[in-house]
A and B are shown apart, each in its own frame.
Chain A
């Protein structure tokens, strides 16, 4: 095993900034420093620029510019959606439905709402990591106000039946939020506000800058701000607009949508090739959510008998960046809540490594990483007390 160029297989954690986004951001880090709320010419220009960014995002999702709220990222978008809607509708009921496989920014927010008096139902998923819409329908109570189901899972890539779930929610008059942070840019999403009332997206998963995202809010949705301040973002998200980030987000999002079909097809081929190589060269592995509809760039693999951090460190020492479960739980001794919800044992979940491919991924990297991985797994199994030599 020798040193090599960096192989970045962690695009679900974050992505490198694309040239278009960088270019779009530069003026706002330089002379175009105006505050969109200012009266003077610099302010007016900034207002025009921020609204241009908003129109770009609105066009991509087929919604109105007034339905786009810029936030500091996906986590804030999810917090605003859940806390803001719960707060606005608390007189109508106190029951919230979500799933066991949501990102922590949804799960922990729901748990926090639970401590504030709301009743939370965490729906299970099947062994493929997919939520059954019938379970959603069955979980709805007279006092249910809010439903939150992610579009695609960050760890497994499993795509959830959000359109069907959205139809159920609309029939029953329940506000439906969907965290589409991992779906956006990876699968075609259509006009999301046709089936969801609120949708969260983030820039840095689609080659935009960190620190910016958006909550799309369908007109008429009950939502209260969760911070107090100025009248920014239609009074729902105070704070001076992050001009450079918004410009970068709009540019990156445009690129992502333009390239989506070709890039999704390219990555699916690479992902399949990677998995096929591993299955051929490494015994006792399993691919999580392989029978579910998946985002084309994500491969979550359980290596039996070894522990994921040990795999990650070996990979890292050889210049390959991957992730265990989700990056947010690194250092947390609890194995992936997503894989546990799919019925994997704690031991199985501890051996899970996520590889997420993207614009930088080449066939050569796939071949090289698969070969390296086979050597690492063999070596660790040779040390493992759970494996026979």
Chain B
């Protein structure tokens, strides 16, 4: 499966002559303790050589990229590993995504959303919301990849 780009919501640039301050405009990044903990001690970092599903999402030149591997047994994720390039938000949300998905049945994992990741982290700064899509997209594409492979090799 080829690289898949995540849709990144780009904040609209402020017009110089009519500044409309917003929370996102402050440029202040403040992560909570859970985010920092997942950033400094990310869970499930690494690669799975004989993975059943793999995804590569994001575009490093736009700020982040994630590789995700899953191992599936009896319909649930028995192992999950990731590697991410990106900001603390990207690394922490990648870590939390794998943490949530580990051990889940595929249909439950497929139902995970970026909101679930953000909630599990206790929130992330407004201008880092898009980071949470990285992990979720990677997870969905890895599951898709697994299903594609299963279909091809019954």
Contact call A350/B91, Cβ cutoff below 8 A: no
Question: Does B132 count as interface, using CB distance less than 8 angstroms?
Answer: no
Main SS of the interface on chain B? mixed
Q: Could you tell me the distance between the alpha carbons of A108 and B17 in the complex, rounded to whole angstroms?
A: 11
A331 at the interface (CB under 8 A from B): yes
Cα–Cα, bound, A383→B59 (Å): 16
CB distance from A23 to the nearest CB of B (A): 33
Q: Which residues from chain A contact B85 at a C-beta distance below 8 Å?
A: 305-307, 384-386
Cβ A345 vs Cβ B86 within 8 A? no
Q: How many residues of B contact A (CB 8 A)?
A: 34
Q: How far is the CA of A333 from the CA of B42 in the complex (A)?
A: 23
A350 and B63 contacting across the interface, CB-CB below 8 Å: yes
Docked-complex contact A384 and B61, CB < 8 angstroms? no
Which stretch, B21-29, B72-80, B101-109, touches the partner chain A? B21-29
Point out the residues of chain B lying under 8 angstroms from A389, CB to CB: 47
Q: Kindly state the separation between the CA atoms of A111 and B16 in the bound complex, as whole angstroms.
A: 9
Partner of B91, one of A108, A310, A331, A347: A310
A317 CB–B CB distance under 8 Å? yes
Docked-complex contact A333 and B10, CB < 8 angstroms: yes
Docked pose: A313 CA to B17 CA in angstroms: 33
Q: Which residues of A contact B45 (CB under 8 A)?
A: 382-383
A2 CB–B CB distance under 8 Å: no
Which residues of A sit under 8 angstroms from B17, Cβ to Cβ? 112, 115
Q: Contact at A331–B66, with CB atoms within 8 Å?
A: no
Q: A332-B27, A386-B85 are in contact. List 16 more A-B contacts (CB 8 A).
A: A111-B16, A307-B86, A309-B87, A310-B91, A313-B36, A313-B88, A333-B62, A346-B61, A383-B42, A383-B45, A383-B83, A383-B91, A384-B85, A385-B67, A385-B83, A386-B60
Interface residues of A (CB under 8 A from B): 108, 111-112, 115, 305-307, 309-310, 313-314, 317, 330-333, 345-347, 350, 382-387, 389
Query: Which positions in B face A, CB cutoff 8 Å?
Result: 10-11, 16-17, 26-29, 31, 36, 39-40, 42, 45, 47, 56, 60-67, 82-88, 90-91, 127
Q: List 8 A-B contacts (CB under 8 A).
A: A115-B17, A313-B31, A313-B39, A313-B88, A330-B27, A346-B62, A347-B61, A383-B84
Nearest 9 A/B pairs, CB to CB: A331-B27, A385-B83, A309-B87, A346-B61, A385-B67, A384-B85, A386-B85, A313-B88, A385-B85
